[in-house]
Amino acid sequence: MKRIQILDTTLRDGAQSEGIAYSVQDKLKIAKILDGFCIDIIEAGFPASNPKDEELFEQLKSVKLKHAKLAAFSSTVHSGEDPENSAAMKKLLAAETPVVVIFGKASSEQVREVLKINEEENLRMIKDTVSYLKGKGKEIIFDAEHFYSGALSDKEYTYKVLDCASEAGADTLCLCDTTGAVLPSDAERLTREAVQRYKRVAVHFHDDIGCAAANSLLSAEAGAAQIQGTFLGIGERCGNADLSVIIPSLKFKLGYEFDCDMRFLKKTANAISEISNTRIRNNKPYIGKSAFYHKAGMHIDAVKKYPPSFEHIDPALVGNERKFVLSEISGRNTLLERVRQLVPDADKDSEELLRAVAVLKEKELFGYHYEAAEASFSLLLRKALYKYEPHFNILLHKTTDDFPSANGELTSCSVVQIEVGGKTEMGSSLGNGPVNALDNALNRALSVFYPEVKEMKLLDFKVRVIDATTTTAAKVRVLMESTDGNDVWTTVGVSFDIIEACLQALQDSYEYKLLNSCKNT
């Protein structure tokens, strides 16, 4: 079997991503998730850089991982410093990880311009650090920082650095594209040269020109024994090589074997995304909501007959699912399948299908956009087929804004009256803006009858002017994304009044939640 080792640095390099601030508990959760997915090495942090990582390694000592080995990260000793007296080395060893990752400059330019020392002193720092840690019984990965740019400008010195680390006892030499700017052709060529020269080579790419995944795959083909990266590609600047893309490509495209079950790839990515408070973009390869999305009628027809015609793998292999998007260009056959879920004996000439097609086209002509609002489409189809019974009716609503705000925060107030089974209830709320106030008021009123709506929250909403030529008199389309902590769904509203459009989307969101709650009880 073809095997290749995966080192995940989500907790170290990924933590440097803009907008991410992991707590110790966040990092512990992610470490367990990565171990559950059978990542080989988890680079958990840099103990000498901050107290949080010191605390993390202390707590990890009592965590029993089933598969992964833990690694702690550090620089080499500083110029003129002895490893025995280095505070960083003491903290690194105190982490008690079986693997340590040490980085040092592999570019003569970086040594001169950043470290401001001579090239021999840099080699001394690398040699002393690696040999000292090897004497402590550690498995050592040496990260050759700026390897690719260094090799392109001064290959002789770059290889002196690698020779030095190897001779001092480094088990793995990691070639780092620190600025993320190496081209795939150079990445493959330089990696192959290093593989031919050293026993064990790893690679670490950043994505500043969008080539990190490609460079990682080419390096695997060139003989690299280890690929480093982060889940979801998070990291500083443009991010790191994305393991959620690289791992399945290594398996399904290059034939590598892994202990991890790829059917849990999307679930693993979603869990890390949630803790990281980031969103997986819809068109993310393998795991995105639109990765196996089909809209054109001819494409849908072909996929139904022979999935490989427009899908490179079975989506179930990575825990994803095929999605046929309903729109005015999807074709009658696509809509027929959805109609049959509610009317099993419907056919292509049935009244139900013709009515559903007519309603869909009428709504999309007005400005609705159902390919991005599956929840609203499900409700629309039920209404068109007379299979819909509303859980509540909105009798009245009023939303006002106050400018300037008295306290500088809450600027809006909303009142909503609803009717459920002949009983009425009024909800009112302040909010940070009219949509927030309207959502809060509707939730308060509904929760009297349906306590399960309390767990709902609005994740995102987008507003688009449909016809900009009419300026402020134009129709607007509102897309809302909601969640109950388990599922995520999107609804749509269209109106000449932005508040009314928001209310339509909110009403659909709550109806969709209540519809699914009834199905599950």
Among 216, 244, 260, the domain-final residue is: 260
List the CATH number of the domain containing 430. Answer: 3.30.160.270
Residue 248 lies in a domain: yes
Q: Is residue 279 part of a domain?
A: no
**What proportions of the chain, in percent to the nearest 5, are helix, strand and coil?**
45, 20, 35
With respect to residue 274, please indicate whether it lies within any of the assigned structural domains: no
When divided into structural domains, the chain yields a total of 3
145 & 20 share domain: yes
| 367 and 406 fall within a common domain | no
Q: Are strands 201-205 and 488-495 parallel, antiparallel or unpaired?
A: unpaired
Residue type, 106: A
Are 244 and 374 in the same domain?
Answer: no
Determine the pLDDT at residue 148: 98
What pLDDT sits at residue 405? Answer: 60
- Residues 338 and 481 both lie in one domain: no
Residues in the chain: 521
* Residue 486, both tokens: 């388990």
What CATH code is carried by the domain that includes residue 113?
A: 3.20.20.70
Residue 487 CA to residue 427 CA, distance in Å, equals: 25
**Contacts of residue 241, Cβ cutoff 8 Å, sequence gap at least 6:** 204, 205, 206, 207, 212, 213, 215, 216, 227, 228, 229, 230, 233
The letter for the amino acid at 30 is I
Mean pLDDT by 10 residues, the chain (521 residues): 95 95 95 96 96 96 96 97 96 98 98 97 98 98 98 98 98 98 98 98 98 98 98 97 98 95 95 91 93 82 88 96 68 76 87 88 85 88 92 94 66 93 94 91 96 92 76 82 90 93 96 85 56
241-to-205, 206, 217, 498 alpha-carbon distances in Å: 6, 6, 10, 41
Residues 6+ apart with CB under 8 A from 422: none
Last residue of a domain, one of 379, 408, 432: 379
Q: What's the pLDDT at 394?
A: 96
Question: Do 369 and 439 sit in the same domain of this protein?
Answer: no
Residue-level pLDDT at 465: 87
Does any domain span residue 286? Answer: no
For 411-487, where are the E strands, in sequence order? 412-420, 423-431, 457-465, 476-483
Same domain assignment for residues 209 and 302: no
CA atoms within 13 A on the CB side of 191: 30
Q: What is the pLDDT of residue 372?
A: 75
> Does residue 147 sit within a domain?
yes
The answer as to whether 214 is a domain residue is yes
Residue 269 lies in a domain: no
pLDDT score, position 257: 95
Domain match, 322 and 467 both: no
Is residue 234 situated within a structural domain?
Answer: yes
Q: State which residues form the domain around 446.
A: 393-519
What was the pLDDT predicted at 373?
Answer: 87
pTM over 0.85: no
Question: Is the four-CA dihedral 25, 27, 31, 36 of positive or negative sign?
Answer: positive
> Same domain, yes or no, for 7 and 108?
yes
Do 424 and 464 lie in one domain? The reply is yes
Which residue, among 136, 8, 1, has the nearest Cα to 71 in the 3D structure? 8
Last residue of a domain, one of 332, 348, 379: 379
pLDDT at 512: 96
pLDDT of residue 301: 79
Is the domain of 350 the same as that of 418?
no
What whole-number distance in Å separates Cα of residue 135 and Cα of residue 417?
74
> Residue 492's beta-bridge partner residues?
479
Asked if 356 and 412 sit in the same domain, the reply is no
One domain for residues 371 and 513: no
